Structure 1
Amino acid sequence: MRKIALGCLLLASLSASMPVAAQDAASESAPDAAAFDAAAAWEEFEHLLRDKYAYIERDDIDVEAQLDRSRALAAKAPDKAALRRIMHRTALTFMDPHLIVGPFEDDDYAIVMTAADLDARFKEGRALIVDVRRGSPAFDAGLRPGDEVLSIGGTPAKDAAQAPFGEVLPDPTAAQLDYGLTLAVNGRRKGDRSLKVRTATGQTRTFELASMRDWANSLRERKLVDLSFVGTGGDVAVLTPLNSLGDNGTIPAFDAAMKEAIGAGARAIILDMRETPSGGNTEVGRSIIGHFTDRVSPYQMHRIPALEREFTVPRQFVEYVFPREPRFDGPVVVLHGRWTGSMGEGIVIGMDAATNATTIGSNMGDLLGGLWNEQLELSGARVDLGGEALFHVDGTPREDYVAAIPIEPASTGADGSDPAIARALKLLEKR
C-alpha cells in the first residue's frame, strides 16, 4: 500500500471538487485472473480502514458485521474490477462522502454532494425531497422541497435507495437508506435521470434531468468569488465562494471582494458558504476567516487516531487564524446547508469559534475529516478517506455542528425562494 498524498480537508483529492475526472477508470491490460488473490487484496483494503480511517469506530452502524459480510463477498471476486465494486459499495455503507474507492466506472453513482442537486430523505415511508441546489438542473426543472419521489428510472423509490449498496448491504438502516436515496435521485456518473414525482400540490409528473456529472463539470469556469448586494437599502454585501476553496487564487479574489464590499459602504456582510461542496485547503479557509477577527484565535481542532492506534500516544492539535486586512467589524451572518462541504464546513465552525458571526443553516455535507489519499497495490484501487477527525474548538465533532439559527431547507424554499437569505435579512433588520 502506497500513500500518494495528504490533502487535509481537500475532498477526494479534487476527484469530487473537480468532480469526475481524477478517479476515472484507466485503461488497463486484462488482469491475470489466476494470479489475482482477492482475499489478500481485500485484506489490504480492510487494514487501511482499520489503521488510517478516523471514523471506523461508529455507533450508528455495525462495522464488524459489515466488514465480515463484505470480506466474504470479496473473497469470491474474480478480478480487480469486481473487487473494486465491492470495496466501493462497502465505502458507501459508511455514509461518508469523503470515503471513496476508485477508479470510478460510469455506472457508479455521482459523488455527493459535489455532483448532486437534490437532498432526499424518507419520512413516514415517503421518499421526500428535502432541499434543492439553487441554479441546478433540478431547480430549473421545478423540483422543490416537499415533492415526493415515487420512482427513479422506473424503479420504486425504496428499491432505488437500496441499489447503491448492492449485495454488500441487504438490510440498510434508516440512515443508510436515506443516504442511498440521495445517491439514487442524483443519478449515475454517466446518463440522464428520470424521476417520477408527486409534487407538493398533488400533481404526478416525470422529470427528465441532465447528468449531474456534466453539469457539475460545467461549473468549473465560474469566477472564484461572487459579490452581490441585498436588503432594502442594497447595503448588505453577500460574499459567496463558488466551490473554489481548493484554489489558492480564491485568497486574493476574496480579498478584492472584501475591499469592494467595504468600499461600497456595506453595513453588514453575509458570508454564503452554501456552494462549497467540494472541499479545499486550510490556507484559503484561514484567509477568509481572518477578515472577521481582530485577534489570533483558534478555529478548528484536529485529532489523528492512526497515531494513537500505532503508538498508543494520542495526537491532537488546534489550528489558528490571524487577523487579515481588510477587516470588517460590522454584523456578519454565515449561511450553510447541504452543499457546504469539508473546508466549507471548517469555515462555518471557524467563523462560529473565532468571530462574532451568527450562523444560519441546515445540516451540512458531513464530509468526514481531513482527507488522506492512498493507493492500494494489490487491487490497484485508489482510496480517499478521512484520516484526521475534526472538531469545533469546543469539542463538538464538525459533522454534529448545529447553526445558531437552524433552518431546513437552507437552499431552496417550497416556493422557490431563498430561505437562508430571507432569514439573514430579517435578523439584520433587527440590528
Structure 2
Amino acid sequence: MPMTPQLRAEAEAVSDNRSLLRYAEHALTALADHHAITGRSFSDDWAIVPTYGDLWIETSGSNYFVTAVRAGSPAEAAGVRPGDRLTAVGDAPTADAVAAFWSPLGLTAEGERAPYAARVLAAGRRDRPRDLTFSGPAGTRRLTLPNLYVGAADRPPLDVRTDRDALVIRFNDSLGQNGTVAAFDAAMTTAQPGQPVVIDLTDTPSGGNTVVARAVMGWFVSAATGYQVHNLPSEERETGIPRQWVEQVLPRPGKHHDGPVSVRVSRWTGSMGEGLAIGFDALGARVTGGPMAGLRGAVSDLILPRSGLTLKLPTERLYTVSGTPREAFVPAP
C-alpha cells in the first residue's frame, strides 16, 4: 500500500471515527482496486464501481475512451456509446480531473490509477448529478447525468423469459440475496428436457456468495466437479508454506438439467458473477460477452477492533481450474 507524506500526515491526524473513516477511504483508494472498500461511507463519497457505475473507461495514450456502457443506464439513454471519448469532468479536461483525484493523496496518475480514477469520476458522487463531456461521431456533448443511487427500484432476483427455444434466466444483481436460490430453482422447473438454458450475468456487479453460485451450477453437474481454485497469499507470507485448494460444485438431489447451458457476461459481471462465469466455463459452457469487471480475488471483512469500522479487502487469489487468474479470464466475444 502506498504511504505518501500526505497519507502519513492524514493518518497521524486521525482523532475520531469520522477522520478515521476518511483516512481509511483514502488509504484503500490508493490501491486503485475497485474491490477494496470500506463498510461505511459518507453521503458525498464517490460512487462504488462497478455497482453504481454505468461507464467503463480505459486509457489509450492521453485519451480516455468509453469501452462499455451499461444496458438500461442513464448514460445509454443519453446516447453515450463505446468508442466515445470522455473529454472533461465538469470544467476540467479529463486528464486534469484524474490528476486532481490523486493529488490530495500524494500520488500521480500512473498505470492503473488513470483508468481507475476515470471510472470513479464518470460514476460521480453519490449526492449529486454528473457533469461529463463526451466526444464522438455525434460531436462534442456536455451531459448532465443522474448518479445511479437515484431512483434505484426494487427488482425481483431474476427475470425469466423464453428466447426462441432457449430459457433465458437473468440475474438482477442478486447473487448475494437469500431468495435467489429458490427463485432459480423455480425457474429451472419450467425448463423442458434438453432445452438450452442461457444464464445472463450481465447485471451482477455487486458479486454475491458461493452458496448461490454453487446452487446454480449444481443443476448442471452429475458428479462433484472443480469450478475454481483458491490461493491464500497471507498464509504463505506468514508461514512460508503455500496454501491452495480446488472448490467443487456438487449435484443437487432431484435438481438436474441435461440441456446445453451458455453464459452471458459484461463489464458489469463482477466478483461472484465472475466466479460463476469461470465455473460454468469449467463445466464446459460457452461464456460470451467480452471482458468482465476484472475484480481481483475473494473479499474478506476486516473489522478494526477499537472503532468497529469494516474494511472489505481482497484476501484470496482466485483462478480458473486451468490456472488462469480469474481477472485475466477472457470470455468469447
Structure 2 counterpart of 1:203: 139
Any idea what SS the aligned residue of 2:220 has?
coil
* Separation (CA, whole Å) in 2 of partners of 1:228 and 1:283: 24
- Per the TM alignment, residue 282 of structure 1 is displaced from its structure 2 partner at its CA by 0.7
Equivalent of 1:111, from 37, 45, 48?
48
* Separation (CA, whole Å) in 2 of partners of 1:294 and 1:78: 55
The 5 Å alignment of 1:87-126 reads: 87-126=24-63
Structure 2 counterpart of 1:345: 274
* Separation (CA, whole Å) in 2 of partners of 1:71 and 1:116: 27
Structure 2 counterpart of 1:322: 250
Any idea what SS the aligned residue of 2:150 has?
helix
Could you tell me which amino acid in structure 1 is paired with residue 28 of structure 2? Answer: A
Structure 1 counterpart of 2:219: 291
Q: What are the ranges of 5 or more consecutive residues in structure 2 without an aligned counterpart?
A: none
- Per the TM alignment, residue 379 of structure 1 is displaced from its structure 2 partner at its CA by 6.1
CA contact (8 A) 2:21 2:41 kept: no
The 5 Å alignment of 1:244-393 reads: 244-260=174-190, 262-263=191-192, 267-324=195-252, 325-353=254-282, 355-377=283-305, 381-393=309-321
Would the alpha carbon gap of residues 341 and 75 (structure 1) be closer, same or farther in structure 2, given more than 3 Å must change? closer
Could you tell me which amino acid in structure 2 is paired with residue 350 of structure 1? Answer: G
TM-score, normalised relative to structure 2: 0.91
Q: For 1:95-118, what per-residue CA distance to the aligned partner results, in whole angstroms no more than 9, with x for missing partners?
A: 322211353122321001111111
- Per the TM alignment, residue 377 of structure 1 is displaced from its structure 2 partner at its CA by 4.1
Any idea what SS the aligned residue of 2:189 has?
helix
Structure 2 counterpart of 1:418: none
* Separation (CA, whole Å) in 2 of partners of 1:374 and 1:197: 39
Structure 1 counterpart of 2:160: 227
CA contact (8 A) 2:56 2:267 kept: yes
The 5 Å alignment of 1:177-216 reads: 177-198=114-135, 200-215=136-151
Would the alpha carbon gap of residues 121 and 289 (structure 1) be closer, same or farther in structure 2, given more than 3 Å must change? same
- Per the TM alignment, residue 395 of structure 1 is displaced from its structure 2 partner at its CA by 1.8
CA contact (8 A) 1:110 1:116 kept: yes
- Per the TM alignment, residue 278 of structure 1 is displaced from its structure 2 partner at its CA by 0.7
Any idea what SS the aligned residue of 2:169 has?
strand
Structure 2 counterpart of 1:41: none
Q: What are the ranges of 5 or more consecutive residues in structure 1 without an aligned counterpart?
A: 1-62, 408-431
- Per the TM alignment, residue 367 of structure 1 is displaced from its structure 2 partner at its CA by 2.5
Q: For 1:202-235, what per-residue CA distance to the aligned partner results, in whole angstroms no more than 9, with x for missing partners?
A: 42222111122224xx24x1011111222xxx21
* Separation (CA, whole Å) in 1 of partners of 2:238 and 2:257: 45
CA contact (8 A) 2:47 2:120 kept: yes
CA contact (8 A) 1:251 1:284 kept: yes
* Separation (CA, whole Å) in 2 of partners of 1:236 and 1:75: 55
CA contact (8 A) 2:7 2:105 kept: no
Could you tell me which amino acid in structure 2 is paired with residue 304 of structure 1? Answer: L
Equivalent of 1:237, from 167, 183, 202?
167
Any idea what SS the aligned residue of 2:47 has?
coil
- Per the TM alignment, residue 161 of structure 1 is displaced from its structure 2 partner at its CA by 2.3
The CA RMSD measured in Å over matched residues stands at 2.1
Would the alpha carbon gap of residues 163 and 285 (structure 1) be closer, same or farther in structure 2, given more than 3 Å must change? farther
Q: What is the percent sequence identity of the aligned residues?
A: 37
Q: Does 1:73 align with 2:9?
A: yes
* Separation (CA, whole Å) in 2 of partners of 1:307 and 1:174: 28
Q: Which has the higher helix share?
A: 1
Would the alpha carbon gap of residues 131 and 295 (structure 1) be closer, same or farther in structure 2, given more than 3 Å must change? same
* Separation (CA, whole Å) in 1 of partners of 2:61 and 2:126: 30
Could you tell me which amino acid in structure 2 is paired with residue 208 of structure 1? Answer: T
* Separation (CA, whole Å) in 1 of partners of 2:34 and 2:129: 21
Any idea what SS the aligned residue of 1:89 has?
helix
TM-score, normalised relative to structure 1: 0.72
* Separation (CA, whole Å) in 2 of partners of 1:187 and 1:246: 25
Q: For 1:269-294, what per-residue CA distance to the aligned partner results, in whole angstroms no more than 9, with x for missing partners?
A: 22111111111111100011112222
